[in-house]
Amino acid sequence: MNAKITRRHTLAAFALAATALSPFAAHAEDVVKVGVILPMTGPSASTGREIAAAIKLFQAQKGDKAGGKKVEVIIKDDTGVADITKRLAQELIVNDKASVIAGFGLTPLALAVAPIATQAKVPAVVMAAGTAIITEASPYIVRTSFTLPQNTMPIAQWAVKNGIKKVVTLVTDYGPGIDAEKTFVATIKENGGQVLDSLRSPLKNPEFAPFLQKAKDLKPDALFLFVPSGQGAALMKQVSERDFAKEGIKVIGTGDVTDDEQLNNMGDAVLGMITSHNYSADHDSPENKAYVAAFEKANPGLRPNFMSVGGYDGMALIYAALDKTKGDTNGTKLVEAMKGMSWTSPRGPISIDPETRDIIQNVYIRKVEKKNGQLYNVEFSTMANVKDPFKAAKAAKK
Amino acid sequence: MLTVLFDGIAYGMLLFVLAVGLSVTLGLMNFINLAHGAFAMAGGYIAVVMMQRFGLSLFWGLPVAFLVTAALGAFLERTLYVRLYDKPHLEQVMFTIGLVFMSVAGVDYFMGASPQIVDVPQSLDGNIDFGGVSLNKYRLFVIAFCAVLTLALQLGLSKTRFGSRLRAAVDDSRVARGLGINVTTIFALTFAFGSGLAGLGGALGAAIFSLDPQFPLKFMIYFLVVIAVGGTTTITGPFFASILLGVADVAGKYYTPTIAGHQIQIGGFVIYTIMVLVLIFRPQGLFGRAPGK
């Protein structure tokens, strides 16, 4: 009895295997897996949600084929903790055989993955994190988001042009904040301006009052602000409490502060605030109009922000690279294919610098205005094809 | 200078309303409730929902936040907390920290992770000039409100019948029971009231800080510092501790020296330094009674 069953089972298993194996094997060849690691929960969850929504939108629009292969996206949640990002990257590469990894909501998360990308020779597409040094951490890192120096330099130059002489900076005390501060301070000083003080607030800081009061008491011409995506509303709330305009102090910053996702909730206190950034949902181009409309249709109540375009363009880059290698998933070949790639994104023309694997893009100076009852960052001046100034300065020294 | 003091006092007052409930459960009921911040967050979100969905002003949001959080506190006390009163402290800590994580995930799921904005009523928006110092109206309101509340609490605890019953129940619950005091009800009411106060603090604070699902974790340290410095046996202890810490925190960050463009990051550590010093010299807290029993 027992023997019979066993034999029958074995036979059945063989039969199954015979029919199943061959198509499966062929199938696996034709699938390219893209492992996306994002903070989908925790304090940076808004970044994860924006990027995940953009990736879904991209695949819904462009289909799931690139370079003759089916592209399968696996999204994993690292909750914004670097240890988890690292572990997930390992799992994605070793267990899931991901050919490309992408995402990375914050600088420490991107840096944690760098050694893995180098060892496994797997391209890591940074869709969000903005500290300049990230692309130097591994030859397999390519970035489609932005760098803080890139987004900061234009507003500093704008300040100089508009007669701002004395400034105070207030940034969050971590990689991107310090990048923003250094770039702003350097640009102001080079142009004969004066930096009265550079304030840094702790990353987990509920109370901005003392820093803002100090900035106000120093009576600068302008106060420069940077906080990571998601904290802008809290900061602007306390900024509006202090009445900087009454003292004749202009409040300026990078677009992270007037993040599109939260801008509408910030109230009229932010009207007229001037920032520089790589993307505004209000950007006037047919590509962007189509993008915003499709994004808002797929995600009611959510406005696409700069994080979302980072994700959207990251997917565009991965697709284009696969097309170029005709489906070859060799990591080194993919990175080579990505270098120098250029295309028109919803944010405007962008390209990947072949030297640094970092993004080259337009940076816009914008002013918060009300349009149809909604607050938008309205662009009024463009600085074309900005390279990351941090790495440009390094290259110039060599 | 005066503005720094003013901001510090407003911050301290808020800390006090947020933490006083914890001082009651910890000091009077000898229960370690790390989930206290979750009640504060609940109050904040209730105010947000009332204002955003039902268009009420913050003035109505405050009492509603207090009542709903108190009811929530009473419900959880009757169903969950009551089982842990006589358990060791470690179990209480494990249980309440679990509650915190559940509340964080729950709020994240239902309300989203992005910070909520609470609009200050028109009448409290803006600043007034007071002898050359411009004071924010809302912070002024917070100070006045909390001062009245503190006074009421102190009187309530020392002068009313309920207050004396509560103190009796805490001092020796067996004897209190023997005298016909319904200790269970008193504890439940006190717990609910403490939770309600936390909710009120959360709603008041939401207009100054931002409110996001990480709130209980962000503020847990501050609560515990207030309780550690102020001691848990009185209302005045945590009150003065809150004011001291609020002012020290704001002033510490304001007066942090800048050397050659590099700020030394000691501003944020001032309150912890104070806590360490207090605990070295007065382990029972600034205003706590030395353990007599």
Residues A90 and A223 in one domain: no
Q: Note whether A297 and A315 are same-domain residues.
A: yes
pLDDT at A87 over 50: yes
A296 in the same domain as A392? no
Instruction: Name the more confident of B287 and A134.
Output: A134
A87 and A177 part of one domain: no
The residue of chain A nearest to residue B221, with distances taken between CA atoms, is A204
Asked if B136's CB is within 8 angstroms of A241's CB, the reply is: yes
Separation between Cα atoms, residue A255 and residue A239, nearest integer Å = 16
**What's the confidence (pLDDT) of residue B166?**
82
| Inter-chain CB proximity A42 and B258 less than 8 Å | no
> Domains along chain B?
2-281 (1.10.3470)
8 Å CB contact of A206 and B263:
no
pLDDT at B32 over 60: yes
Q: With contacts defined as CB-CB under 8 Å, which chain A residues touch B105?
A: 41
Give CA–CA dist A303/A229, Å, rounded: 14
- Does B209 sit within 8 Å of A200, measured CB to CB? no
The minimal CB distance from B250 to the residues A43, A210, A237 is found for A210
Q: Do A359 and A143 touch, CB atoms closer than 8 A?
A: yes
Q: What is the pLDDT of residue A6?
A: 57
Predicted structure pTM score = 0.80
Task: Supply the range of the domain harboring residue A205.
Answer: 149-277+363-397
The answer to whether residues A254 and A326 belong to one domain is: no
Rounded distance between C-alpha atoms, residue A228 and residue B124, angstroms? 29
Confidence class of residue A30 from pLDDT cuts 50, 70 and 90? confident
- Both ends of chain A: CA-CA distance in Å? 81
**Number of alpha carbons in the 13 Å side-chain half-sphere of residue A143:** 34
**A392 in the same domain as A245:** yes
Do both A83 and A168 map to the same domain?
Answer: no
Query: Which of B210, B250, B252 is opposite residue A209, by nearest beta carbon?
Result: B250
Is residue A340, in this structure, part of any structural domain at all?
Answer: yes
Nearest residue on chain B to A211, alpha-carbon basis: B254
pLDDT of residue B283: 80
Domain count across chain A: 2
The answer to whether B201 touches B40, Cβ cutoff 8 Å, is yes
Question: Which CATH number do you get for residue A45?
Answer: 3.40.50.2300
Percent of chain A with pLDDT strictly greater than 70: 92
The two counts, helices (H) then strands (E), for chain A are 13, 15
Which of A42, A200, A213 is the closest to B254 by Cβ?
A213
pLDDT at A8: 57
Angle at A320 between CA A316 and CA A324, to 5 degrees: 170
Examine the domain organization and report whether A367 and A352 are in the same domain.
Answer: no
Q: Which residues of B touch A230 (CB under 8 A)?
A: 113-115
Mutate to test the interface with B, among A241, A242, A263, A268 (most CBs of B within 10 A): A241
SS3 A2: helix
Question: Model confidence over B95-134: pLDDT tens digits?
Answer: 999 999 999 889 888 887 777 777 777 777 777 777 767 7
Q: Do the domain assignments include residue A312? A: yes
Query: CA nearest A205 in B: which residue?
Result: B218
Q: Are residues A242 and A368 in the same domain?
A: yes
Residue A14 domain flag:
no
The answer to whether residue B265 scores a pLDDT higher than 80 is: no
Q: Are residues A172 and A121 in the same domain?
A: no
pLDDT of residue A174: 84
In this prediction, the answer to ipTM > 0.90 reads: no
Q: Are A223 and A371 in a shared domain?
A: yes
